[in-house]
Chains A and B, each alone.
Chain A
Amino acid sequence: MSVLARSVGNAFRNKVRTGAVVAVLAVAIGLALSMLVANQAVAAKVAELNASVGTVLTVNPAGGQGFEGGGEPLTAEQAATAAAVPNVSTVVGTKALRLRNAAEAAAQAGAGTQAGGPGGGQGGPGGQTTTTLTTSLTAAIDAGTLGNRNQAGQETTGSNGTTQPARTMSLPITATGIGAEVDSTGKALTITEGSGLGDYTSESANALLGTTLAEKNGLKVGSTFTINDKTFTVAGLFDAGTTFGNNALYVTLPSAQTLASLPGELSTMIVTVDSMENVDSAKTALQAALGTDKADVTQGQRNLETAVSSLDSVKNISLIAFIAALGTAGLIILLIMVMLVRERRREIGVLKAIGAPNRTIGLQFVLEALVVVAMGSVVGAAVASLASGSIASALISSNSTTTTAAPTGRGVPGGAAGFPGGAGLPQGGPFGGASQLLTTVTASASPGVIAAGIAAVFGVAIIGALVPALLTARIRPIEVLRGE
Chain B
Amino acid sequence: MIEVKNLVRTFKSGDRTIKPVNDVSFELEQGTLASIVGKSGSGKSTLLSLLGALDKPTSGDVVVNGVSLASMPDGKLTEYRRRDIGFVFQQFNLIPNLSAVDNVMLPMEFAGVRKAARLARAKELLEQVQLDPEKHVRRINRLSGGEQQRVAIARALANEPKLILADEPTGNLDEQTGEHIIELLSSLSRDHNTTILVVTHDRQLANKTDRRFRLQQGGLTEEPARSRVAAASG
Q: Do A and B come from one complex?
A: yes
User: B-contacting residues of A (Cβ < 8 Å)?
Assistant: 1-2, 6, 9-10, 13, 346-347, 349-358, 360, 476-478, 480-481, 483-484
CB within 8 Å for A481 and B45 given contacts A356-B110, A357-B110: yes
CB within 8 Å for A1 and B89 given contacts A350-B95, A481-B54: no
B82 close to A355 (CB less than 8 A): yes
Q: List 18 A-B contacts (CB under 8 A).
A: A1-B98, A1-B102, A346-B93, A350-B89, A350-B94, A352-B78, A352-B81, A353-B52, A353-B87, A353-B89, A355-B111, A355-B159, A358-B78, A476-B54, A476-B55, A477-B81, A481-B45, A481-B54
Chain B residue nearest in CB terms to A479:
B54
**With contacts defined as CB atoms under 8 Å apart, how many contacts are there between chain A and chain B in the complex?**
76
In the bound assembly, the distance between CA atoms of A355 and B94 in angstroms comes to 14
In the bound assembly, the distance between CA atoms of A35 and B65 in angstroms comes to 63
- Min Cβ gap B105→A in Å is 7
Partner among B53, B89, B106 whose Cβ is within 8 Å of the Cβ of A351 = B106
- Min Cβ gap B27→A in Å is 24
- Rank and list the top 10 A-B pairs by shortest CB-CB distance, nearest first: A355-B82, A478-B55, A477-B54, A350-B93, A354-B107, A355-B110, A1-B102, A355-B81, A478-B54, A356-B110
In the bound assembly, the distance between CA atoms of A353 and B92 in angstroms comes to 12
Q: List 20 additional contacts besides A347-B95, A354-B81; criterion CB under 8 Å.
A: A1-B98, A10-B97, A13-B97, A346-B93, A353-B52, A353-B54, A353-B81, A353-B93, A354-B106, A355-B159, A356-B106, A356-B110, A357-B75, A357-B110, A358-B78, A476-B55, A477-B53, A481-B49, A481-B89, A484-B167
- Min Cβ gap A479→B in Å is 9
Question: 1/0 per residue B75-97: CB within 8 Å of A?
Answer: 10011011101010111011101
Chain B residues in 8 Å Cβ range of A477: 53-55, 81
Chain A residues in 8 Å Cβ range of B110: 354-357, 360
Report if B162 contacts A (CB, 8 A): no
- Min Cβ gap B187→A in Å is 23
Report if B155 contacts A (CB, 8 A): yes
- Min Cβ gap A214→B in Å is 66
- Min Cβ gap B200→A in Å is 15
- Say which size band chain B's interface belongs to: 20 to 34
B102 close to A355 (CB less than 8 A): no
Chain B residues in 8 Å Cβ range of A483: 91
In the bound assembly, the distance between CA atoms of A292 and B55 in angstroms comes to 92
Report if B109 contacts A (CB, 8 A): yes
In the bound assembly, the distance between CA atoms of A350 and B89 in angstroms comes to 10
Chain B residues in 8 Å Cβ range of A9: 97-98
Chain A residue nearest in CB terms to B102:
A1
Partner among A6, A360, A480 whose Cβ is within 8 Å of the Cβ of B89 = A480
In the bound assembly, the distance between CA atoms of A481 and B87 in angstroms comes to 11
User: A-contacting residues of B (Cβ < 8 Å)?
Assistant: 45, 49, 52-55, 75, 78-79, 81-83, 85, 87, 89-91, 93-95, 97-98, 102, 105-107, 109-111, 155, 159, 167
Chain B residue nearest in CB terms to A346:
B93
Chain B residue nearest in CB terms to A477:
B54
B98 close to A355 (CB less than 8 A): no
Chain A residue nearest in CB terms to B167:
A484
Chain B residue nearest in CB terms to A5:
B102
Chain B residue nearest in CB terms to A350:
B93
In the bound assembly, the distance between CA atoms of A74 and B10 in angstroms comes to 101
A484 close to B89 (CB less than 8 A): yes
Partner among A349, A354, A478, A484 whose Cβ is within 8 Å of the Cβ of B82 = A354
A6 close to B93 (CB less than 8 A): no
Chain A residues in 8 Å Cβ range of B106: 351, 354, 356
In the bound assembly, the distance between CA atoms of A2 and B119 in angstroms comes to 12
Chain B residue nearest in CB terms to A3:
B109
CB within 8 Å for A354 and B90 given contacts A9-B98, A478-B54: no
Chain A residues in 8 Å Cβ range of B49: 478, 481
In the bound assembly, the distance between CA atoms of A6 and B83 in angstroms comes to 22
Chain B residues in 8 Å Cβ range of A354: 81-82, 87, 106-107, 110, 155
B54 close to A355 (CB less than 8 A): no
Chain A residue nearest in CB terms to B53:
A477
In the bound assembly, the distance between CA atoms of A102 and B14 in angstroms comes to 105
In the bound assembly, the distance between CA atoms of A175 and B78 in angstroms comes to 84
B55 close to A357 (CB less than 8 A): no
- Min Cβ gap A386→B in Å is 34
Chain B residues in 8 Å Cβ range of A481: 45, 49, 54, 89
Partner among B78, B85, B90, B109 whose Cβ is within 8 Å of the Cβ of A484 = B90
In the bound assembly, the distance between CA atoms of A356 and B20 in angstroms comes to 28
Among B97, B111, B159, chain A packs the most CB atoms within 10 A around the CB of: B97
- Min Cβ gap B13→A in Å is 15
B97 close to A480 (CB less than 8 A): no
In the bound assembly, the distance between CA atoms of A350 and B45 in angstroms comes to 15
CB within 8 Å for A484 and B91 given contacts A351-B106, A357-B75: yes
Chain B residue nearest in CB terms to A13:
B97
Chain B residues in 8 Å Cβ range of A6: 98
In the bound assembly, the distance between CA atoms of A477 and B49 in angstroms comes to 9
In the bound assembly, the distance between CA atoms of A476 and B55 in angstroms comes to 8
In the bound assembly, the distance between CA atoms of A441 and B52 in angstroms comes to 67
Chain B residues in 8 Å Cβ range of A10: 97
Chain A residues in 8 Å Cβ range of B98: 1, 6, 9
Among B75, B79, B89, B167, chain A packs the most CB atoms within 10 A around the CB of: B89
Chain A residues in 8 Å Cβ range of B85: 355
Chain A residue nearest in CB terms to B107:
A354
Chain B residue nearest in CB terms to A344:
B95
A357 close to B93 (CB less than 8 A): no
- Min Cβ gap B12→A in Å is 15
- Min Cβ gap A391→B in Å is 39
A480 close to B81 (CB less than 8 A): no
A355 close to B91 (CB less than 8 A): no
Chain A residue nearest in CB terms to B92:
A350
In the bound assembly, the distance between CA atoms of A349 and B52 in angstroms comes to 13
Chain A residue nearest in CB terms to B111:
A355
In the bound assembly, the distance between CA atoms of A478 and B98 in angstroms comes to 22
In the bound assembly, the distance between CA atoms of A455 and B73 in angstroms comes to 38
